[in-house]
Amino acid sequence: MQPIYDYHMHTPLCGHAVGWPDEYAQAALDAGLEEIGFSDHAPFVHMVDPGVTMGMSQLPDYYAMIEKTQQRFKNDLRIKMALEADFIPGYEDKTQAIIDDYDYDYIIGSVHFIKDWGFDDPDQRERWDQEDVNQVYSDYYELLRRSAKSGLFDIIGHCDLVKKFGHRATIDLTGEIKQTAQVFKETGVAIEINTAGWRKPCEEQYPAENCLKIYAATGIPLTFGSDAHTPEDVGADFKQAYALAKSAGFTEYVSFSKRNIDRVIRL
């Protein structure tokens, strides 16, 4: 078995993905998926970088492009309209305005920045050498909790992305993760098993199995995402992700419509 939904994929509008939405949709059909969601990088609220996110003026192009693909595939595939938006403290109002501009099915909230440092950006990788890795991890978890508490998001994206380049904390993070799970529970956000980690130096899905066990035990809703930046990656490693979800203790995953969980699917 494998999950039949892939809720995390990108488009060329973000400046670092290839393939048009029709190609992602076709790849999803070929992979046996029944539902997908486009969650391209929402415009940055704190700066402009055409190589990382679409610009504000491109949002209408995004809607039009995805709506066309929804139309073309309407008999074969359910296609959700979503965004992956950064959590940048101090810019919540600007983020809210972007989210309110369209009737989205869900919003993935992602922490890619600690203050001004894009810690998962290959161009800023050297900065890791100057940082205290344990401190980076606790700063990251604090931001994850704040992102959930912001109320802006439905799904918290790749919720241990901080390990991307293979830097590992030497302290026990169990307390940090449990505290985070509690906040996720109270704020009602879902998490995702994001398979992109298997294609990165950390060589492991996001989040790690020990995190998944805690989130499952806490009753956090689950989604699946490939974080595809190319059509070939749609549904990547979903068989392993399915097995992992089950062994971590999840019994179901969810789908979203208009910012609410509308279906629960048994694993």
Give the footprint of Fe ion on this chain (CB under 5 A): 84, 110, 227
Contacts 24+ apart (CB under 8 A), 25-29: 25/69, 25/72, 25/73, 25/77, 25/79, 26/231, 27/228, 27/231, 27/232, 27/234, 27/235, 28/77, 28/234, 28/235, 29/73, 29/76, 29/77
- CB-based contacts of 115, cutoff 8 Å, min separation 6: none
Across-strand partners of 41? 84
Outline where 75-205 has alpha helix (H): 92-100, 133-149, 174-187
Quote the least distance from Cβ 133 to Zn ion, whole Å. Answer: 21
* Position closest to Zn ion via CB: 227
- Is the Cβ of residue 150 or residue 179 nearer to Zn ion in the bound state? 150
* Binding of residue 227 to Zn ion (CB under 5 A): yes
Stretch that binds Zn ion, among 90-98, 141-149, 221-229, 254-262 (CB under 5 A): 221-229
- Is the Cβ of residue 200 or residue 219 nearer to Zn ion in the bound state? 200
* Binding of residue 86 to Zn ion (CB under 5 A): no
- Taking the C-alpha atoms of residue 201 and residue 48, their distance in angstroms, rounded to an integer, is 27
Match 């060329």 to its residue by tokens.
12
Quote the least distance from Cβ 227 to Fe ion, whole Å. Answer: 4
* 209 DSSP 8-state letter: H
- Is the Cβ of residue 155 or residue 212 nearer to Fe ion in the bound state? 155
Sign of CA dihedral 210, 211, 217, 221: negative
- Is the Cβ of residue 73 or residue 206 nearer to Zn ion in the bound state? 206
Contact partner at residue 105 from Zn ion, Fe ion, none, CB < 5 to 8 Å by partner kind:
none
Quote the least distance from Cβ 251 to Fe ion, whole Å. Answer: 26
Identify which of 19, 140, 200 has the alpha carbon closest to the alpha carbon of residue 40. Answer: 19
Quote the least distance from Cβ 108 to Fe ion, whole Å. Answer: 7
- Is the Cβ of residue 123 or residue 263 nearer to Zn ion in the bound state? 123
Quote the least distance from Cβ 88 to Zn ion, whole Å. Answer: 15
Stretch that binds Zn ion, among 65-73, 208-216, 224-232, 247-255 (CB under 5 A): 224-232
* Phi, psi at 95, each rounded to 5°: -65, -45
Contact partner at residue 160 from Fe ion, Zn ion, none, CB < 5 to 8 Å by partner kind:
none
Task: Indicate the helix (H) or strand (E) that contains 240.
Answer: helix 238-248
* Helix (H/G/I), strand (E/B), else coil: 62: helix
- Is the Cβ of residue 84 or residue 176 nearer to Fe ion in the bound state? 84
Quote the least distance from Cβ 172 to Zn ion, whole Å. Answer: 27
The footprint of Zn ion on this chain (CB under 5 A) covers a number of residues equal to 1
Which residues contact Zn ion by CB under 5 A? 227
